[in-house]
Amino acid sequence: MPAVTPPSSAARDEAATRLAGLATPAGALGRLGDLAVWVAATQGRVPPEPVERVRAVIFAGDHGVADHGVSAYPKAVTPAMVRTFLTGRAGVSVLAAQHAVTVRVLDLGVDDDLEGVPADVQRHKVRRGSGAIHLEDALTTDETLAAIAAGRSVAADEIAAGAQLLISGDMGIGNTTPAAALVAASLGLTAEAVTGRGTGIGDAALDHKTAVVRQALARAGERVADPVDTLTSLGSADIAASAGFLAGAAEAGVPVLLDGVVAVAAALLADRLAPGAAAWFAAGHRSPEPAQGLALASMGLQPLLDLGLRLGEGSGALAAVPLVRSAALLLADTALLSEIL
């Protein structure tokens, strides 16, 4: 497995110097300035080039826990939304069209044959539905490794297609439950600390969902010390693929803008699979899911937006794409104070 080379510290230092010399009051660009320095470091270029080619991949899959009262919606939504991504009418599709971002959807584990969808969508399918994590493993070890490898190969495809910035999106009813469990397992947190309302469950269902996460963590036990075993026991095919995708991006030196709780759980696993990967990640937004904020903080990432957005699909990352573009342009094209005085 290739090691993760950090973003260029020479470019980071040069970018910070350029930022300090811009025709603005010192520090006036605030977090956009920090973001610009990160973009320049990931590109190894000062000034950074415009961030034009942004590509998002949605990893879709079903989750056995969805049959156990953890979501406000039925599992049938998952294949229906896969078809909706394909017709370009999902929430994330609207933002992607607005911001000229390409979106692909891939079925890693949808519990449906998705008859009639283009074969390419199912090219990396690992299985139909992942195990109910409080009762059984999500995957076999072989399935986990296949999903991670699929994610890495998808990242390579997107990079070969010219991606300068990658986004991983999620679709799968019930997926905020394994995401919460993965974050708790990775950070040594309790079920109470990480479990949220997902699609909008009420108090009684939240108590039940928390108990499901607690039971899953107890079942996984010591296996959470290893990232592959963590994904095997508590993850899913789609989240394992997303983790492989994010690890692959970091290994290739391509930056990533993170979305909500599922993408961030995958990012945490990517950083365990490929230590140092998190240096290639920026946080598009903060979601109301507690696991998401806790995972971001553990990676030292501050979210760009905080809109109460709790859709997933990559939407929070998509909404932040204009900020990344603005940051790079500001550092590249703003006059220097020395040029105007």
Ligand X SMILES: Cc1cc2ncn([C@H]3O[C@H](COP(=O)(O)O)[C@@H](O)[C@H]3O)c2cc1C
289 binds ligand NIO (CB under 6 A): yes
Q: Quickly count: other Cβ atoms within 10 Å of residue 210's Cβ.
A: 20
As measured in angstroms, the least distance from the Cβ of 324 to ligand NIO is: 19
261 binds ligand NIO (CB under 6 A): yes
* Shortest Å distance, C-beta 225 to ligand X: 26
Q: Does 90 bind ligand NIO (CB under 6 A)?
A: no
Which residue's CB is nearer to ligand X, number 24 or number 199? 199
Contacts of 102 (CB under 8 A, 6+ apart): 54, 55, 56, 96, 161
User: What is 271-326 written as a DSSP string?
Assistant: HHHSTTGGGGEEE-B--S-HHHHHHHHHTT---SB-S-----TTHHHHHHHHHHHH
Q: Cβ contacts of residue 201 below 8 Å, gap of 6+?
A: 70, 71, 72, 209
CB count in 10 Å sphere of residue 297: 13
Q: What CA–CA distance (Å, rounded) separates 270 from 173?
A: 22
**Quick one: which of 63, 75, 310, 325 contacts ligand NIO (CB under 6 A)?**
310
- Based on the shown chain and the rule CB under 6 A, indicate whether residue 62 belongs to the binding site for ligand X: no
Residue nearest to ligand NIO (CB): 260
Which of 15, 171, 234, 270 is close enough to bind ligand X by CB under 6 A?
Answer: 171
Cα-based angle 80, 98, 47 (whole degrees, multiple of 5) = 125
**Paired strand residues for 285:** 305
Of 173-212, binders to ligand NIO (CB under 6 A) are: 176, 198-199
Q: How far apart are CA 274 and CA 3, in angstroms?
A: 7
Closer by beta carbon to ligand X, 112 or else 251: 112
Binder of residue 260, out of ligand X, ligand NIO, none (CB less than 5 to 8 A by kind):
ligand NIO
Shortest reach from residue 289's CB to ligand NIO, in Å: 4
Under the criterion CB under 6 A, does residue 260 sit at the interface with ligand NIO? Answer: yes
State yes or no: cis peptide before 6, omega within 30 of 0: no
Question: Which string of x and - marks every residue 28-57 that binds ligand NIO (by CB under 6 A)?
Answer: ------------------------------
Catalytic amino acids?
313
- The owner of tokens 């000229």 is 100
Interface residues with ligand X (CB under 6 A) are: 71-73, 77, 81, 170-177, 198-199, 311-313
Which stretches of the chain bind ligand NIO, using CB under 6 A? 176, 198-199, 260-262, 287, 289, 292, 310-312
